Amino acid sequence: MTASTGTSSSTISSGSAATSAATTTTTGASATGPQTNTWGTTIPPLSQITSGMPSQPTLPLTATYSAGATPPISGAPALPTPFVFQAASWPPQDQIAPTDSTEVAEWMQELDGFDIPDIPPTADGTCVGDPAAAADAASRGWWTCGGYTRDTDIVACPDKLTWGVSFDDGPAFYSKQLLDYLSSINVTSTFFVVGSRVVERPQVLVEEYMTGHEIAVHTWSHRPLTMLTTEQVVAELGWTRKAIKEVLGVTPTLMRPPYGDIDDRVRAICLAMGMIPVIWTRTPSGATFDTNDWKVAGGVVNGSQSFATFQAILNNATLLDTGFIVLEHDLYPQTVDLAIGYTLPAALNFTPHLTMDSIGYCNNIPATNLYRETNQNTSFPYSNSTSGDSSVPSGSGGTSASKSKTSGSIPALNIDAIPTTIIGTAVMAAVGALLLQV
Ligand SMILES: [Zn+2]
C-alpha cells in the first residue's frame, strides 16, 4: 500500500444532526483516575462515560491516501480520486431513501429471477409494534422477534473463543481513535457503515479500508428493514453500496441489518443484491451479544452497566461451541471510549485466551470474496451470478451483473466459504428460540 506523507487531512468536519452532539471538543474528560493511552487521548473512568460527558478532541487522520494507491486486497482497483459529496446527487441524509429514481429502478432489476417472499412489511420492526407479524415470526424467519435465523446468516465465528470484531454506524468523528487502538493491538475489525455517514466522512472510510479492516453495508438511513417496502430496502442497500464504491472503488458482499431487523423477505433482497447478512450472536437461551453501548450515548444506561453487559457476554461466550460476534459502535465518543478503554482491553486480558479478528476473516472467507470487484468465487455470495465483475460502472449500481442471474430461488452459499458449523449454530439458535420463547 502507498500513502502520501504530505498534509494530513484536517480534523473530521462536523456533520449531520444525528451526530451533532459530538461536535464539542473539550478536553479533560475526567478529573479523577483517567487512563491515558499511548497517543495522548484520555479515557474517562467508566462511571463518567455517560450521555452528557464532555467530548474528547477528534484526531486528525494520519495519512492521506492518494488516488491510485493500491488497496490491501489482492486485485482491488486502485483507490479512486477523492470523493466529493454533492448533496443533489444523493438521497437526503438520514431519511429513508426515495424509490422514485432511475438508480433504484435499475437496482430493482437485480431481484429479477429471485424468489422474494411476499411478506408484508412490519409496522415498525419490533414485536411489540406488530403483534400479528410477531405471531408469524417463526415462519417469517424474523430475527428481531425471537431470534430466528437462516443458514445464509452469519451469526458467529466458527472457532470457539474467537471474537469476530465489528463496529457499526460510522464512519464517525471518533473512528480514528478506534483505528489507532486497533492498530496498536494488531486487531482488524469489520466496519458496517451507514451511507449517510460515508458521504460525510469518506476519508475515514478510506483509512479503515486501506489499513486492512473489512468494509460492509449498513444501509443509508439506518431504519429497521422489515418495516420498509421491497423498493425501499433496495434503495437503502443500493445507495450505501454506491457510496462505498465511489469512495473506495469496491462493493461489499457483506451487510448488517440495523437493529438486526431481518426476515426472509429482507434476506432474499440482500442476497439477490449480492450481500450476505451478518447479525450478532444470540445464545439458545435468548441472550443477545449486544453491549448496549448505543444506549449509553442515548442516556438509557451508563458506562458501567454497558461494560457489565460486555463482561456477561464474554462469560456466555465461553459456554458456546463456536466463536461469537458482538454488537458495538464507533459512532459516538462514549461507544469508542468503552471500546478502547474497556471492552477491547478486557477481551485481550480475558481468561481463557480469546482470538480477535474481523468477521470475514474469522469465517475463513477470503478477503477477495468480501468485494464484488475482487471476488473470484462464482458461488459466493450467490450461486448463479457472474462474480468478479469489474465492469460495473460506479454509477450503475450493478445492473450489468444482475443480468446473468437466472436462479429462481434464494441462492445457496458456498459451504467452503461459510463453515457448516456456523450454519448449524444458526439452526440451533432458531430451534432454541422456538423451544424457549414460545
Ligand atoms: Zn447500526
Please say if the pLDDT value at position 257 is more than 70: yes
pLDDT of residue 376: 86
pLDDT of residue 380: 77
Please choose, from the candidates 372, 394, 365, the residue with its C-alpha nearest in 3D space to the C-alpha of residue 76: 372
Q: How many angstroms does the Cα of residue 331 sit away from the middle of ligand 1?
A: 9
pLDDT of residue 337: 93
Mean pLDDT in residue range 401-421: 32
Respond yes or no: is residue 222 known to be catalytic: no
Position 419 confidence tier, pLDDT thresholds 50, 70, 90: very low
Position 210 confidence tier, pLDDT thresholds 50, 70, 90: very high
All structural domains of the chain with their residue ranges: 94-389+421-437
| Model confidence pLDDT, tens digit, residues 118-136 | 999 999 999 999 999 999 9
- Residues 358, 214 contacting (CB under 8 angstroms): yes
Q: How many angstroms does the Cα of residue 168 sit away from the middle of ligand 1?
A: 5
Please say if the pLDDT value at position 386 is more than 70: no
Mean pLDDT in residue range 73-91: 97
- Residues 368, 375 contacting (CB under 8 angstroms): yes
Q: How many angstroms does the Cα of residue 5 sit away from the middle of ligand 1?
A: 33
Residue 290 CB neighbour total at 10 angstroms: 20
Mean pLDDT in residue range 410-431: 35
Q: At what angle do helices 202-210 and 230-248 cross, to 10 degrees?
A: 70
Grid cell in block for residue 77 = 482497483
Of the residues 213, 218, 222, 329, which is catalytic? Answer: 329
Alpha-carbon distance 385 to 172, whole Å? 34
User: Which residues neighbour 89 within 8 Å (Cβ) at sequence distance 6 or greater?
Assistant: none
Please say if the pLDDT value at position 36 is more than 60: no
pLDDT of residue 377: 84
pLDDT of residue 35: 56
Mean pLDDT in residue range 35-50: 72
Three-state secondary structure readout of the chain: CCCECCCCCCCCCCCCHHHHHHCCCCCCCCCCCCEECCCCCEECCHHHCCCCCCCCCCCCCCCECCCCCCCCCCCCCCCCCCCCCCHHHCCCCCCCCCCCCHHHHHHHHHHCCCCCCCCCCCCCCCCCCCHHHHHCHHHHCCCCCCCCCCCCCECCCCCCCEEEEEEECCCCCCHHHHHHHHHHCCCCCEEEECHHHHCCCHHHHHHHHHCCCEEEECCCCCCCHHHCCHHHHHHHHHHHHHHHHHHHCCCECEECCHHHCCCHHHHHHHHHCCCEEECCCECCCCCECECCHHHHHCCCCCHHHHHHHHHHHHHHHCCCCCCEECECECCCHHHHHHHHHHHHHHHHCCCCCCEEEEHHHHCCCCHHHHECCCCCCCCCCCCCCCCCCCCCCCCCCCHHHHCCCCCCCCCCCCCCCCCHHHHHHHHHHHHHHHHHHC
Position 387 confidence tier, pLDDT thresholds 50, 70, 90: very low
Least confident among 161-165, 324-328, 391-395: 391-395
pLDDT of residue 334: 92
pLDDT of residue 324: 98
Of the residues 94, 130, 153, 168, which is catalytic? Answer: 168
pLDDT of residue 298: 87
Least confident among 139-148, 249-258, 429-438: 429-438
CA geometry: angle 116, 248, 186, nearest 5 deg: 100
Position 58 confidence tier, pLDDT thresholds 50, 70, 90: confident
Q: What percent of the chain has pLDDT over 90?
A: 69
Q: What is the mean pLDDT of the chain?
A: 82
Position 378 confidence tier, pLDDT thresholds 50, 70, 90: confident
Q: How many angstroms does the Cα of residue 4 sit away from the middle of ligand 1?
A: 32
Please choose, from the candidates 267, 216, 249, the residue with its C-alpha nearest in 3D space to the C-alpha of residue 413: 267
pLDDT of residue 59: 73
The pTM score is 0.81
Please say if the pLDDT value at position 335 is more than 60: yes
Residue 26 CB neighbour total at 10 angstroms: 10
Q: How many angstroms does the Cα of residue 141 sit away from the middle of ligand 1?
A: 20
Least confident among 3-12, 217-226, 227-236: 3-12
Q: How many angstroms does the Cα of residue 289 sit away from the middle of ligand 1?
A: 14
Position 388 confidence tier, pLDDT thresholds 50, 70, 90: very low
Which residue has 430451534 as its cell numbers?
431
Least confident among 163-172, 319-328, 376-385: 376-385
Mean pLDDT in residue range 399-413: 31
Respond yes or no: is residue 112 known to be catalytic: no
Q: What percent of the chain has pLDDT over 70?
A: 76
Q: How many angstroms does the Cα of residue 224 sit away from the middle of ligand 1?
A: 10
Please say if the pLDDT value at position 2 is more than 80: no
Omega before residue 34 within 30° of 0, cis: no
Higher pLDDT, residue 12 or 321: 321
| Model confidence pLDDT, tens digit, residues 149-194 | 999 999 999 999 999 999 999 999 899 999 999 999 999 999 999 9
Mean pLDDT in residue range 420-430: 35
Least confident among 108-117, 333-342, 377-386: 377-386
Grid cell in block for residue 377 = 468465487
Mean pLDDT in residue range 106-119: 95
Q: At what angle do helices 264-272 and 230-248 cross, to 10 degrees?
A: 40
pLDDT of residue 246: 98
CATH fit for domain 94-389+421-437, picks 3.30.420.40, 3.30.830.10, 3.20.20.370, 3.20.20.20: 3.20.20.370
Q: How many angstroms does the Cα of residue 407 sit away from the middle of ligand 1?
A: 31
Q: How many angstroms does the Cα of residue 259 sit away from the middle of ligand 1?
A: 6
Position 41 confidence tier, pLDDT thresholds 50, 70, 90: low
pLDDT of residue 53: 81
pLDDT of residue 234: 98
Q: How many angstroms does the Cα of residue 167 sit away from the middle of ligand 1?
A: 9
